[in-house]
Amino acid sequence: MTPGLALEIARGERRGILTAEVQQQIQQSQDHIAAMVAGHQTIYGVNTGFGPLCTTMISDDHLRDLQHNLLRSHAVGIGPDIAPHLVRLMLILKVQALAQGYSGICLDTVKRILWHIEEDLLPAVPAQGSVGASGDLAPLAHLFLPLIGEGYLYEAGEKKPAAAVLDAHAQSPLQLSPKEGLALINGTQFIAAYATAVLNRLHRCLEQADLIAAMSLEALLGSARPFEAPLHELRPFAGTQYVAARMREFLHGSAVMKSHAHCHRVQDPYSLRCIPQVHGASRNAWLHLKEMLQTEINSVTDNPVVLDEATAISGGNFHGQLISMPLDYVTIAAAELGNISERRVYLLLEGKVEGLPKLLLENIGLNSGFMVTQYTAAALVSENKTLCFPSSADSIPTSLGQEDHVSMGAFSGRKALKVVKNLEQILAIELLCAVQALDFRRPLRSTPYIDACHEYVRQTISFAEADRVFSEDIREAVRIIRSGKLLDILTETAAAREETMSGEWPEMFRV
């Protein structure tokens, strides 16, 4: 499983199946649990209480009740329900973890989870309540309450009691076997679902940030020399080299760039000159998250882990620190991408570069032009800065001290996604200003890549000759950024030119 594959399943582009081999592994693990229970072996959470109650033994006739009570007692989430695509990812990633065959889950339970995915009957999962150790207990409990006919499901966008939905679809609530409740709610699938969404949306931001930066640099008559390959071979970070290669491709052959080839400017401000170094650093952070997430979603993260018919180890594979820290790192990376983008917006509005009017309108005074778009970008950048404190640096003991160090990884994921959403809006503002600025360089043409993207934006956002309600332009620019259409245009342009952008790099930087 890759993050990209999980996203394809979540979007309905692929269907997840359980192969015969996987079904055998799942059944074998459940058989192991049954054998240990029959042999009266003491196993945490199977015939003992949970957390600080781990020394309390549970009689055989209450083992099923124990698992049902676990889901009920841990379903204490609060706040708004998370988005449907995140719920789908949680379900998909949980199936992937259970399919490893070390969780003691029943095959019928896994099949019921797949049924929920395929029928698009998605549990209601509150956003808040997980501390990211012993897994994402509260959100996962809400995720799986419908299996036992409790909690809520969304059907066609309407939130309904799970029991009523199951009954309408001729499905009976499941009776959980020993260990099943624990296998369901132990794990990092809430954190991992957010990380998968962050990885995907930040990837689109990174790809478009380079393009938009090239537009801004071109409009500002900046130099392309800081992107030359020999310079970056002397400091060969993968992200930096990739961004520099893309900048060279975006700008190569531009008539706008040639128009000032012999100007006397010695060097550009950092937000132009250091695009490879800053964007590249964010690329490297994205790569780190991708690597860690790839391992995480193919791991067994519940507890205890069932190794064979005689061995169940109670460990800490559920602890979210391993993914919480990369999420905090990538939050900073996303915030910095917005930070440098806002600085380029400021440069575009300054009016200090020949041919660009102040605030990107000719008749300033009567009109304020694009002045306040930069205010909005600045507000978003400041908000992102406040969200950069690492959640993984905090820990509040829970479970009466049994769980005395937690990762707070759920909030790492939630705030990382918030920062990326803000970043999309900051980039939209730079795109709006860069496209306006490029119009002042006409009739000179840019490169096929930049011209094609410029023309696409102009299909829905017209050149501004006077003040208007710019929030509507920003809203449309945000839609363009979030759609990823500019990336499709780049791919189509490269194909028409029989080119492959950035040589060997795309595979590494693909979700």
Query: Which CATH number do you get for residue 10?
Result: 1.10.275.10
Point out the domain boundary residue: 172, 187, 202. 187
- Do 134 and 403 form a contact (C-beta atoms < 8 A)? yes
Compute the average pLDDT of residues 474-480.
98
Residue 227 lies in a domain: yes
CATH of the domain at 328: 1.20.200.10
Residues 6+ apart with CB under 8 A from 190: 90, 125, 130, 136, 139, 140, 410, 413
Residue 511 lies in a domain: no
Residue 216 lies in a domain: yes
> What pLDDT was estimated at residue 45?
74
Cα–Cα–Cα angle for 333, 381, 208, nearest 5°? 55
| 183 lies in the same domain as 221 | no
Strand partners, 57: 48
| pLDDT top residue among 349 and 400 | 349
Compute the average pLDDT of residues 230-244.
97
- Do 221 and 260 form a contact (C-beta atoms < 8 A)? yes
Lowest mean pLDDT among 12-21, 66-75, 398-407, 441-450: 398-407
**Catalytic residue positions, numbered:** 44
| 243 lies in the same domain as 140 | no
Point out the domain boundary residue: 125, 152, 187. 187
As a whole number of angstroms, the longest Cα–Cα distance in the chain is 87
Mean pLDDT of the chain: 95
Q: Quote the CA–CA distance of 101 and 105 in Å, as a whole number.
A: 8
| 441 lies in the same domain as 481 | yes
Q: Quote the CA–CA distance of 178 and 103 in Å, as a whole number.
A: 11
φ, ψ for residue 260, nearest 5 deg: -130, 30
| 236 lies in the same domain as 183 | no
Q: Quote the CA–CA distance of 48 and 198 in Å, as a whole number.
A: 38
Number of domains in the chain: 2
Residue 358 lies in a domain: yes
| 123 lies in the same domain as 235 | no
Residues of the chain by 3-state class (helix, strand, coil), percent to 5 = 60, 5, 35
> Which 3 state secondary structure label does DSSP give 286?
helix
pLDDT tens digits along 351-367: 999 999 999 999 999 99
Residue 510 lies in a domain: no
53 confidence band (pLDDT: 50, 70, 90): low
> What pLDDT was estimated at residue 60?
75
Q: Quote the CA–CA distance of 16 and 92 in Å, as a whole number.
A: 8
| 157 lies in the same domain as 200 | no
Cα separations (Å) of 420 from 20, 335, 346, 362, 508?
40, 8, 21, 34, 21
What residues make up the domain containing 91? 3-187
Point out the domain boundary residue: 130, 165, 187. 187
Structure tokens, 11: 């979007």
| 16 lies in the same domain as 106 | yes
> What pLDDT was estimated at residue 471?
98
Which single residue is written with the structure tokens 């993968």? 238
Q: Is the pLDDT of residue 10 over 70?
A: yes
| pLDDT top residue among 153 and 64 | 153
| 157 lies in the same domain as 204 | no
Q: Is the pLDDT of residue 54 over 70?
A: no
Compute the average pLDDT of residues 200-211.
98
| 208 lies in the same domain as 79 | no
160 confidence band (pLDDT: 50, 70, 90): very high
Helices 107-119 and 84-98 cross at an angle (nearest 10°) of 160
Cα–Cα–Cα angle for 409, 178, 184, nearest 5°? 25
| 113 lies in the same domain as 250 | no
Residue 307 lies in a domain: no
Which single residue is written with the structure tokens 């930040």? 202
Q: Quote the CA–CA distance of 435 and 474 in Å, as a whole number.
A: 12
Residue 504 lies in a domain: no
52 confidence band (pLDDT: 50, 70, 90): low
| 256 lies in the same domain as 285 | yes
Cα separations (Å) of 186 from 322, 348, 382?
15, 50, 36
* Residue among 184, 207, 286, 241 at smallest CA distance from 449: 207
Residue 501 lies in a domain: no
CA atoms 333, 339, 343, 344: torsion sign = positive
| 201 lies in the same domain as 180 | no
